[in-house]
Copies of this chain bind each other. A is one copy, B any other.
Amino acid sequence: MMDIIALRRDLHAHPELGFTEFRTATKVVQILTELGYSVTYGKDAIDDTSRRGLPKPEVLEDAYQRALREGADPVIMEQMRGGFTAVVAEIQGEQEGPTTAFRFDMDALPIRESKLEQHAPQATQFRSRHEGIMHACAHDGHTTIGLALAERLSNRKFAGRIRLLFQPAEEGVRGAYAMVEKGMLEQVDRLFCMHLGTGVPSGHIRGASAGFLATTKLEAHFTGVSSHAGATPEEGRNALLGAATAMLNIHALPRFSSADTRINVGILEGGTGANIIAEHARMVIETRSTSEETNRELERRVRNIIEHSAAMHELTASVEVVGSAIPIRCDMELAELAVQQAEGIAGFTHAEAISDSAALGSEDASYMIRRVQEQGGKATYMIVGSELPAPHHHPEFDIDEAVLAPAVELLEKLARTLQTTDL
């Protein structure tokens, strides 16, 4: 049996940012292959041009070299070069039956992990060895659960097929869409997505989640003409004036009566020196809405503001989608099945199908869920509770490792039950 605590700690100590999960994904490929799964990865598992917010080539390459230095299998990894770090594994059960899929995300965050002694990874010496990168959103736990589940199901004692999706770049909602576009959700009848923590205590499970917002993340570039601010100011075309105008006007977009909305310019940067009229500015924006249509309308308006803020100052502007997600509507049959199956698992003390208290976040698993539902299948997004010493995305974030084993057991029960359940 796999040592899931050791596995989780190894992943925690080697966190990798979105689309650079070379070491992690290679390990996933190796384990799944050894377990007898049919494994698809690299360009076969994710669509090249649908990937959003891809890091620059030199960043991809630096991470690749680091993984090589850390001993990742170069033959497997070669297929992932350039940021193709998705892995999909499938296994056929003893009998015919439906296809059930589980999705696990693998990427970490650009956060410097705490060195405080009360922080368990520091105390127990599995703190991040990649300075400035950290598993602060439990994806190390998710990947571990996925691999442990794979081991349990490798005996093929079930009907139908099991598909395990290991997704890169969930942070920034960048990777799922490209796996969907590559066809990785075709023929899936049931899909379980899952997250640890999110405010739910250890021992609790929630079968479905509400409150996921449609979102689009945009990166805009304004390009003007630099000039000496003292000698020839009139020859400049000031990119920062365009960006500042866009900043204010994007935030001034109206509320919508049709749906809840959110808007944020999270990054604005440009210019090189006090005496130079800024030639270039960069802006990162996100829109959100409870309605996918309203979110698209917000995106349209943001693009229009950027275009004309630039043109007003005779700048050129470009806008690129660097991430996106849609709302999630869970199928309550799956949620209730999860509640039912949690019964009797040691470590679970409370189970509920759904909660009123919706967190207003976004998840690109939403694309996978919708694709399954479009095909006539069912899907849900579950929460497995975990005490957290600090919130998600915090330098002292950590998970309660005791919840990993029950989570694996629950998924296993769902996998086996579902294959014979007519929903």
Contacts and interface: CB of A to CB of B under 8 A. Distances in A.
Interface of A: 172, 213, 215, 217, 229-234, 236, 238, 240-241, 243-245, 247-249, 251-252, 254-258, 260-278, 281, 284-286, 288, 297, 304-305, 307-309, 311-314, 322-323, 359-362
A360 B230 contact: yes
Contact of A268 (B240, B311, B322, B361): B240
B268 A275 contact: no
A263 B272 CA distance: 15
Given A217-B274, A241-B249, A244-B247, A255 B262 contact: yes
B278 A286 contact: no
Interface hub of A241, A261, A322 (most chain B Cβ within 10 A):
A241
Contacts of A254: 233-234, 236, 238, 251, 277
Contacts of A215: 230
A247 B241 contact: yes
Contacts of A264: 229, 233, 274-277
B251 A360 contact: no
A233 B256 contact: yes
A270 B267 contact: yes
25 contacts: A172-B274, A229-B286, A230-B262, A230-B361, A231-B359, A231-B360, A231-B361, A233-B256, A233-B262, A234-B257, A238-B254, A241-B249, A243-B268, A244-B247, A245-B245, A251-B252, A251-B254, A254-B277, A265-B271, A268-B268, A268-B281, A269-B270, A305-B312, A307-B311, A308-B308
